[in-house]
Amino acid sequence: MLSELRKTVWELNMELPKNNLVVMTSGNVSGRDPETGYIVIKPSGVKYEKLSPDNMVIVDLNGKVIEGDLAPSVDTNTHLYIYNHRPDICGVCHTHSTYASVFAALGRPIPAVMTASAMLGGEIPLGDFCYIGSNNIEIGAEIVRKIGSKKAIVMKNHGVFTVGKNAAQALKMAVEVEEIAKITYLALALGEPVYLTDEQIKITLEMYDNDYGQ
Ligand SMILES: [Zn+2]
């Protein structure tokens, strides 16, 4: 079932290693099917080159496996917590991408210093430290508490989660957040970056929402 979404979620997961956002089996992308409400997510602990549309796992909002032979990602509960509390979100992505994770290690939000930052809603907020683990809902709860209308959040000592109106947007935000984190890191290394004002963020975000793309 959900063969289109399976293929899409598989393709988007394959973008993670292509964009150097993950090592080994870390990282994951999921997507929600708006009709059934089911979630398609990467299986746990399978190397990227072994992934296929067929081994993506379909779960319901309670985490029950609807279709799939493999166990879903250990981060499934985090994805589900977000989907259960944010009906507007139909895609979630998680990585430990290097530059974004530098901010996680420092316990610092990523400030808005580039026009591209507006795409993510401006400054990328910081979530508090949470223990990881498959039965844990702490991470999801902290994301829902802190992310607001932003498209990304840095989780202290851990990595980054991004969200979107679909899985493709969540993946795009994961690529953007890493690029922004890299530029911000380098700018901070050379001096004091010029921060965007709230007005600049608002107007630029409107451009992204209305003028951008085909
Ligand atoms: Zn993680």
From ligand 1's centre to the CA of 160, what distance in Å? Answer: 8
From ligand 1's centre to the CA of 212, what distance in Å? Answer: 31
From ligand 1's centre to the CA of 159, what distance in Å? Answer: 6
- pLDDT of 171 > 80? The answer is yes
Alpha-carbon distance values, 71 to 41, 62, 74, 171 (Å)? 10, 14, 8, 22
- Domain range annotation of the chain: 3-210
Q: Which fold has domain 3-210?
A: L-fuculose-1-phosphate Aldolase (3.40.225)
How many percent of the chain have pLDDT more than 70?
100
pTM: 0.96
- Are the CB atoms for 164 and 172 separated by under 8 Å? yes
- pLDDT of 44 > 80? The answer is yes
In angstroms, the first-to-last Cα distance of the chain is: 30
Extract the tokens encoding 139: 């991470």
Please give the Cα distance from 60 to 55 (Å, whole number). 16
- Are the CB atoms for 68 and 55 separated by under 8 Å? yes
- pLDDT of 213 > 90? The answer is no
pLDDT tens across 24-38, in order? 999 999 999 999 999
From ligand 1's centre to the CA of 81, what distance in Å? Answer: 15
Distance of CA 9 to the CA centre of its chain: 13
pLDDT tens across 109-142, in order? 999 999 999 999 999 999 999 999 878 899 999 9
pLDDT tens across 51-93, in order? 999 999 999 999 999 999 999 999 999 999 999 999 999 999 9
From ligand 1's centre to the CA of 75, what distance in Å? Answer: 7
pLDDT at 134: 77
Name the pLDDT band for 208 (thresholds 50, 70, 90): confident
